[in-house]
Amino acid sequence: MAEQHTASDCKQRASQGAGGSVSGNGRPNTAAGCGGGGGGLSGGLTQPAGWQSLLSFTILFLAWLAGFSSRLFAVIRFESIIHEFDPWFNYRSTHHLSTNGFYEFLNWFDERAWYPLGRIVGGTVYPGLMVTAGLIHYLLNLLNVTVHIRDVCVFLAPIFSGLTAISTFLLTRELWNQGAGLLAACFIAIVPGYISRSVAGSFDNEGIAIFALQFTYYLWVKSVKTGSVFWTIGCCLSYFYMVSAWGGYVFIINLIPLHVFVLLLMQRYSRRLYIAYSTFYIVGLVLSMQIPFVGFQPIRTSEHMAAAGVFALLQAYAFLQYLKDRLTKQEFQTLFFLGVSLAAGVVFLTVIYLTYTGETAATMATQHHSLAQHMPSLYFSPLPLINPIKPVILNLDTERLFDPVLSAFAVYFAGVMVRLMLTLTPVVCMLSAIAFSSVFEHYLGDDMKRENPPAEDSSDEDDKRNSGNLYDKAGKVRKHVSEQDRPEEGLGPNIKSIVTMLMLMLLMMFAVHCTWVTSNAYSSPSVVLASYNHDGSRNILDDFREAYYWLRQNTDEHARVMSWWDYGYQIAGMANRTTLVDNNTWNNSHIALVGKAMSSNESAAYEIMKSLDVDYVLIIFGGVIGYSGDDINKFLWMVRIAEGEHPKDIRESDYFTPQGEFRVDKAGSPTLLNCLMYKMSYYRFGEMQLDFRTPPGFDRTRNAEIGNKDIRLKHLEEAFTSEHWLVRIYRVKKQENRQALDHKLRNVAAKQKYTSKKVCISCLIIVVIFKYRFFFFFSIGYQMFMQ
Amino acid sequence: LWRATQPSMCFWLLRAAAADGLVNEEVKRTVDLSTHLAKISAEILLANQGGSPVQSFTLALEPELGPHLAYVGASVKGEEEEDESLELKETAVHGRSGTFFQVQLPSALAAGGKLRVKVETVLTHVLRPFPSHITQAERQLVVFQGNHYLYSPYPTRSQSTRVRLASKTVESYTKLGNPSKNDEVIEYGPFKDVAPFSQDTMKIHYENNAPFLTISSITRTIEVSHWGNIAVEETIDLRHTGAYLKGPFSRYDYQRQSDSGISSVKSFKTILPASAQDVYYRDEIGNISTSHLQVLEDSVEVEVRPRFPLFGGWKTHYIIGYNLPSYEYLYTLGDQYALKMRLIDHVYDDQVIDHMTVKVILPEGARNVHLDTPYVIDRSPDQLHYTYLDTFGRPVLVATKNNLVEQHIQDMVVHYTFNKILMLQEPLLVVGAFYILFFTVIIYVRLDFSITKDPAAEVRMKVASITEQVLTLVNKRLGLYRQMDEVVNRYKQSRDTGALNSGRKTLEAEHRTLTNDIAALQARLKAEGSDLAEKVGEIQKLDGQVKELVNQSCQESERLVAGKVKKETYITSEKTLAGKRQELISRIDSLLDAL
């Protein structure tokens, strides 16, 4: 163990030396040999350094290529299209940005969302994604590369996955060594946990945020190592980019203080650390506050307080160190108690805030609610592979400490919320890369050593190998070998080759598994569905786009479409029509109102729709083709959310049978069978016989014959139904021109009563509902994507 | 061509027409109302009853129908099969309203002579849906309002009109002269001795479920590349201009009943050129996955199915594009180029285009552009288009025209000159860009851009590079010993002293140069003030010992071969030598590692 320690020390020195020169020459840094670090200026291919940089360049390039191409399944199988829900909003904003310019985008008030409230988009988004895509588009067009903004958006995440691989390489190299870095880059390029959020078409914040995350970590480690303001400012800029890109920046602003804190606890305080953290905290804070959506949060909310606490602690610590130098022992001791009590107080506060962040992580879960959570939780993690690394981790350097801190933190967050699994993925990749790398060093390196002495058993073959071995002598492998030679004397060559083979097998299976998962679980746009016939031919069900495009072309430009919030972004993006609620679920009472309209009977719903100026109602109905993610399956949630706001009008129990079942057939509750959602879903479905074995009106999703076959609509009429009935759009009939005066008066009175009711039932239990909804959608989303 | 000529000139023409004494001897009109167009063709037997030969005659169109006129053409019906089409010029007739064309005859019609002329007219948007709003279950009824007689500046001796309808179902029709109705055909006439410019409203109200599709606007972009490709892209706004759909659209009825929504349009066929490749069909939100492509012998047929069926009043928008090989359409002679392509292509049968824009994007550097069109078309000012690898922009010809029908599918010719040397511009641009990129990288890597000078680091780098060289050389030297061993082994088998000596000599020479090199490097290291020089010195010392051992083993083997020593003794001494050597080498290795 001690030898390993010196070895790593040695290496660290080398890379530090190289680090000093890296600003002068930008080539990939080689951690070759202790004395011969840096490789020399004349490093051509005859030099080991030249080979090494060529090799790492090639591997990184291939990792980028592999990462890029394994994300293209959806594009090849379907087309270059934006996926799912949130990406449609991002695409729409990017489109707005690229057509109207940056300032117009920042000031954008979107009157097409949350009718009649609207949404201030510029101030409620993390603009990093849109600005990145818009900038790329702008630059390409400046160079007369006429790429459509959609293609930029579709391919942004795969391209950034390459950058993520490179920054992971850099980070792992800083933490461990070049070999582990390359392995980590290869892992992160294809690991499904990350691919799930970055396939082509998945134009979402995480696609670029993981790159920013890794790069910030890298620069942080670099700045702690060097204590140079240059690297720290770089780290701050990268952090700024991260803040602008994703709400997950909170992860960084808690992790880095934690790292500093642990270092302080372990008596690893140094001037470098002081410079790095003080600069990072102040500049990073100021920069992060420049994002309109973040605003003053970094100095107000609890999840940022850990950083402030550690900052204060560090100042106090540094001050004590300063005093220690200046004062006599006697004086210092009197001051010490004062200082310690002060520091203890700060630490105490920090700890309190740290525990607080555990709470806030849960609230963060409610703030971010794209359907990402509903992705199948097939997150493959090579976590078991970490085991061999455990002994290695025991010897910790200042920056190496970063790794366990990072992993512990990531595991904690991933435990709090499934979605934050994403932040765990790179950590796992790095750890397993380090594990693999050290295992290979252990087992492969020895073979080389073993082959070297028998060089005397002269043979032509050996000569060749010898020439190959020439550069190994300078390399670190060789050095390790001679040091590790003794303890490994007991390992026979057979065990070594078996272990190596096993490891290679494992890696190969990992690659196969990743590709399989990517291709099967994450490569569906979910806007376009595909089904396969018995002969293997493919049917494309394009109902969503059919209906959305119908809305776009054949309704009034200012028509207002009511639908459940899941489809808000898609309607805005594809149909370009005004929606009442969308995936940015910021106003619960508004959602509850839509839920109430859906779950009331037709005439009550008509009143609500009239008050909301609804022209069209859009629902998703999967009964014809057996699509399980439709509105009837989500319906209980509409009821629950409506009940939360309007407990007098809507009661969840009304929608169940006396036995407590939710059924759509004859045994279903009459309230359900007459509510608007039911009527709209099954309008004229009772006449439809799908095949000869089932009665007319047989719902394939719920495997039941519907209970109410004679549905008549009074205030609505069918405006459009897509080919497979997946999307049904109803037109809200305008009121007839009436003369009767008394009726009119009554109407007004009813309206007043209604509004007063609305006022008195205020939004008291929003949080409860949000939490509820999140878990519910996870389950139905799971079904939806699995089918 | 149809531009109104000078009034005086016009007046002169009119007088000539009035004085020429032409008479429509016999007129056979056919009004085809089976589609959403009104195609009126008339076979006229012209007789010159005046005293002088006539060079031209005048065609007339009713003032009500004038704005709907999309196409008019006249041809002389020859004895042979082929018709000779005649040149038309728009003109005006004094004191009369309507649209008039002067038709130039191929040869003067002598006094008393007769000539059979065929006139073809296509009118758009003249069939008015009535009722204007229908439900999904109803059938579409339309009204046509026309003229029973041929509208002509000349008197007509005898005339008959045959109207072809889309279906048997006719609500009502005007009954002038007791017409006979037979299935889809109504025959009027014959009417005798009709005065010039006589009009009598013919009104037919009948069922017509033909697709009432109208392209409200189309932008056809033709991008010519001299690298062998012509890219064509058509952006189309399509609208169903039949009776509006009233009330709900029921998918159930539409799927289950064959006559539900009978006037709606589910799909249509677009015929593309036979060499069309990479056809795409999409809109703002992606591919339209409901289309089919069929490659036939002489054409490529695309079954264009909009995302949703088009009912009355519904519209859609799509983009269809394809690539064509340029050798079929681009002709060249030296620097002269001519692009001969269809100005407008087929979109669907009996197409109506309300507004068309054609853009021809020529390669960068095309000059003296000249456009020849088969009919009059409005040229807009040229534009510039920038795309991949462009520097000063490609010239774009823009032309627009309203109200087009199938008869307008004709070739246009774009002439331009292009200096072939400009073909090199794009590859050179790419080469230049890469050159600059690599050059920058080279500069960046080779030169030191740091603002502070760090002599220690510099020395370290120098020392590192020297050590690197030392390492290589030492390794090479160790390799020499192995070669030596080999030589000795071979010698033991072959007992060829000459080979041994020569091998030893060459190896020794190499060894000497290597040792000298290392010594030189050692000196340099010393000059840099590095303590590594001592270590290198130590290596040199150790190496000398190794050398010694190698020589010893060599001599031993010589003695063995000469029979001076016994085999066993040789083996033991060889073993000790090898052991010593191994020890020395491992010491050298450890020193190397320390470097």
A454 three-class SS: helix
Q: Among B232, B265, B235, B264, which residue's Cα sits nearest to residue B353? A: B235
The token duo for A514 is 């990743």
Cis preceding linkage at A28, omega within 30: no
pLDDT tens per residue across span A648-686: 888 888 888 888 888 888 888 888 888 888 888 888 888
By Cβ distance, the residue of A146, A455, A482 closest to B593 is: A482
- Are the beta carbons of A721 and B486 separated by less than 8 Å? no
Pairing of strands B315-325, B299-304: unpaired
Question: What value does the mean pLDDT take over residues A765-785?
Answer: 42
By Cβ distance, the residue of B315, B486, B593 closest to A478 is: B593
Q: How far is B235 from chain A (nearest CA, A)?
A: 15
Torsion of CA B16, B18, B20, B26, to 10 degrees: 140
- Are the beta carbons of A23 and B450 separated by less than 8 Å? yes
By Cβ distance, the residue of B465, B467, B489 closest to A41 is: B465
Q: What CA–CA distance (Å, rounded) separates A741 from A114?
A: 33
What residues in A contact B387, CB-CB < 8 Å?
Answer: 144, 146
What residues in B contact A21, CB-CB < 8 Å?
Answer: 457, 461
What residues in A contact B594, CB-CB < 8 Å?
Answer: 35
ipTM score for this prediction: 0.77
- Are the beta carbons of B314 and A553 separated by less than 8 Å? yes
Q: Among A229, A329, A333, which residue's Cα sits nearest to residue A271? A: A229
- Are the beta carbons of B248 and A49 separated by less than 8 Å? no
Residue/partner pairs of A51-59 with CB below 8 Å, 24 or more apart: A51/A471, A52/A178, A52/A475, A53/A27, A53/A28, A56/A28, A56/A169, A56/A178, A56/A181, A56/A182, A57/A28, A59/A182, A59/A185, A59/A186
Cis preceding linkage at A525, omega within 30: no
Distance linking the first and last C-alpha atoms of chain A: 52
Contact A232, A225 (CB under 8 A): no
pLDDT mean by block of 10 residues, chain B; 595 residues: 41 48 86 89 86 83 86 78 74 80 82 85 89 88 88 87 88 85 85 85 89 92 91 93 88 84 87 90 85 87 89 90 92 91 90 92 90 89 88 90 90 91 89 95 83 74 78 80 79 76 81 82 74 75 79 77 74 80 78 70
- Are the beta carbons of A720 and B249 separated by less than 8 Å? yes
Q: How far is B382 from chain A (nearest CA, A)?
A: 19
Mean pLDDT is lowest, of A238-252, A388-402, A553-567, B475-489, for A388-402
B396: DSSP letter: E
- pLDDT greater than 80 at residue A733: yes
> Which of A16, A34, A41 to mutate against chain B (most B CBs within 10 Å)?
A41
Give bridge partners of residue B281 from the DSSP assignment.
Answer: B320
Pairing of strands B170-173, B229-240: unpaired
- Kindly state whether A33 is in contact with chain B, defined as any CB-CB distance less than 8 angstroms: yes
* Per-residue pLDDT, A406: 65
pTM of the model: 0.76
> Which of A13, A538, A549 to mutate against chain B (most B CBs within 10 Å)?
A549
Compare A715 and B574 and report the one with higher pLDDT.
A715
- Kindly state whether A498 is in contact with chain B, defined as any CB-CB distance less than 8 angstroms: no
- pLDDT greater than 60 at residue A752: no
Residue B89 identity (one-letter amino acid): K
* Per-residue pLDDT, A135: 93
Contact A543, A618 (CB under 8 A): no
Q: Among A5, A7, A55, which residue's Cα sits nearest to residue A30? A: A55
Nearest Cα residue in chain A from B585: A453
Q: What CA–CA distance (Å, rounded) separates B331 from A395?
A: 76
Contact B35, B126 (CB under 8 A): no
- Kindly state whether A556 is in contact with chain B, defined as any CB-CB distance less than 8 angstroms: no
- Are the beta carbons of B388 and A144 separated by less than 8 Å? yes
By Cβ distance, the residue of A26, A545, A684 closest to B286 is: A545
Burial of A375 (0-12, 13-18, 19+ CB in 10 A): buried
What is the pLDDT confidence band of residue A407, given thresholds at 50, 70 and 90?
Answer: low
By Cβ distance, the residue of A26, A573, A725 closest to B251 is: A725
**DSSP of A464-482, one letter per residue?**
HHHHHHHHHHHSHHHHHHH
Question: What value does the mean pLDDT take over residues A52-81?
Answer: 88
What residues in B contact A573, CB-CB < 8 Å?
Answer: 285
% of chain A at pLDDT higher than 90: 10
Contact B296, B310 (CB under 8 A): no
- Are the beta carbons of B471 and A17 separated by less than 8 Å? no
Nearest Cα residue in chain B from A530: B289
The token duo for B280 is 């795409």
* Per-residue pLDDT, A404: 64
Element (H, E) at A530: strand A529-532
Q: Quick one: angle between helices A48-70 and A178-190, nearest 10?
A: 10
- Are the beta carbons of A35 and B532 separated by less than 8 Å? yes
- Are the beta carbons of A482 and B590 separated by less than 8 Å? yes
Contact A269, A317 (CB under 8 A): yes
> Starting at the edge strand that comes first in sequence, how are the strands of the sheet with B38-48 ordered?
B84-85, B69-76, B114-123, B38-48, B22-32, B156-164, B185-194, B180-182
pLDDT tens per residue across span A140-195: 988 888 888 888 999 998 999 999 999 989 988 888 788 888 888 888 888 887 88
pLDDT mean across residues, chain A: 74
By Cβ distance, the residue of A21, A25, A479 closest to B593 is: A479
Q: How far is B164 from chain A (nearest CA, A)?
A: 33
Cis preceding linkage at B190, omega within 30: yes
Question: What value does the mean pLDDT take over residues A557-564?
Answer: 89
Contact B89, B101 (CB under 8 A): yes
Question: What value does the mean pLDDT take over residues A104-109?
Answer: 88
What residues in A contact B533, CB-CB < 8 Å?
Answer: none
Contact A774, A366 (CB under 8 A): yes
* Per-residue pLDDT, B253: 87
Q: Among B385, B460, B430, B255, which residue's Cα sits nearest to residue A39? A: B460
By Cβ distance, the residue of A145, A463, A722 closest to B388 is: A145
- Kindly state whether A723 is in contact with chain B, defined as any CB-CB distance less than 8 angstroms: yes
| Contact residues, A window 2-31, toward B, CB-based 8 Å cutoff | 17, 20-21, 23-27
* Per-residue pLDDT, A47: 61
Contact A353, A306 (CB under 8 A): yes
Contact A30, A49 (CB under 8 A): yes
| Contact residues, A window 301-330, toward B, CB-based 8 Å cutoff | none
Give bridge partners of residue A586 from the DSSP assignment.
Answer: none
What residues in B contact A81, CB-CB < 8 Å?
Answer: 285-287
Pairs of CB atoms within 8 A across A/B: 150
* Per-residue pLDDT, A48: 66
Q: Please enumerate in sequence order all residues whose Cβ is within 8 A of that of A568, keeping only pairs 6 or more positions apart, or say none.
A: A113, A579, A580, A581, A582, A583, A584
Contact A375, A418 (CB under 8 A): no
Helices (H), A368-417: 390-393, 402-416
- Kindly state whether A574 is in contact with chain B, defined as any CB-CB distance less than 8 angstroms: yes
- Are the beta carbons of A550 and B307 separated by less than 8 Å? yes
By Cβ distance, the residue of A21, A144, A540 closest to B386 is: A144
- Are the beta carbons of B307 and A546 separated by less than 8 Å? yes
- Kindly state whether A528 is in contact with chain B, defined as any CB-CB distance less than 8 angstroms: yes
What residues in B contact A35, CB-CB < 8 Å?
Answer: 463-464, 467, 532, 594-595
Compare A751 and B226 and report the one with higher pLDDT.
B226
pLDDT tens per residue across span B283-295: 888 888 878 888 8
* Per-residue pLDDT, B397: 92
B227 three-class SS: coil
Nearest Cα residue in chain B from A543: B307
Q: Please enumerate in sequence order all residues whose Cβ is within 8 A of that of A666, keeping only pairs 6 or more positions apart, or say none.
A: A705, A707
Nearest Cα residue in chain A from B581: A456
Element (H, E) at B290: none
Q: Quick one: angle between helices A205-226 and A229-245, nearest 10?
A: 160
Compare A475 and B122 and report the one with higher pLDDT.
B122
- Kindly state whether A453 is in contact with chain B, defined as any CB-CB distance less than 8 angstroms: yes
Question: What value does the mean pLDDT take over residues A392-399?
Answer: 44
Question: What value does the mean pLDDT take over residues A572-594?
Answer: 87
Q: How far is B380 from chain A (nearest CA, A)?
A: 24
Contact B289, A532 (CB under 8 A): no
Question: What value does the mean pLDDT take over residues A575-580?
Answer: 89
Compare A30 and A494 and report the one with higher pLDDT.
A494
- pLDDT greater than 50 at residue A388: no
The 10 Å Cβ neighbour count of residue B89 is 16
Mean pLDDT is lowest, of A199-208, A302-311, A368-377, A626-635, for A368-377
* Per-residue pLDDT, A261: 85
Give CA separation, B540 vs A33, A453, B19, B588, B594, in Å. 21, 20, 124, 9, 15
- Are the beta carbons of B387 and A146 separated by less than 8 Å? yes
- Are the beta carbons of B475 and A470 separated by less than 8 Å? yes
- pLDDT greater than 70 at residue A764: no
Q: Please enumerate in sequence order all residues whose Cβ is within 8 A of that of B542, keeping only pairs 6 or more positions apart, or say none.
A: B584, B587, B588, B591
**DSSP of B492-538, one letter per residue?**
HHH--HHHHHHHHHHHHHHHHHHHHHHHHHHHHHHHHT-THHHHHHH
Q: Please enumerate in sequence order all residues whose Cβ is within 8 A of that of A561, keeping only pairs 6 or more positions apart, or say none.
A: A551, A555, A571, A575, A577, A578, A579, A580, A614, A615, A616, A617, A618, A729
| Contact residues, A window 77-106, toward B, CB-based 8 Å cutoff | 79-81
The token duo for A249 is 């920046």
What is the pLDDT confidence band of residue A646, given thresholds at 50, 70 and 90?
Answer: confident
> Which of A21, A463, A571 to mutate against chain B (most B CBs within 10 Å)?
A21
Contact B387, B367 (CB under 8 A): no
* Per-residue pLDDT, A476: 34
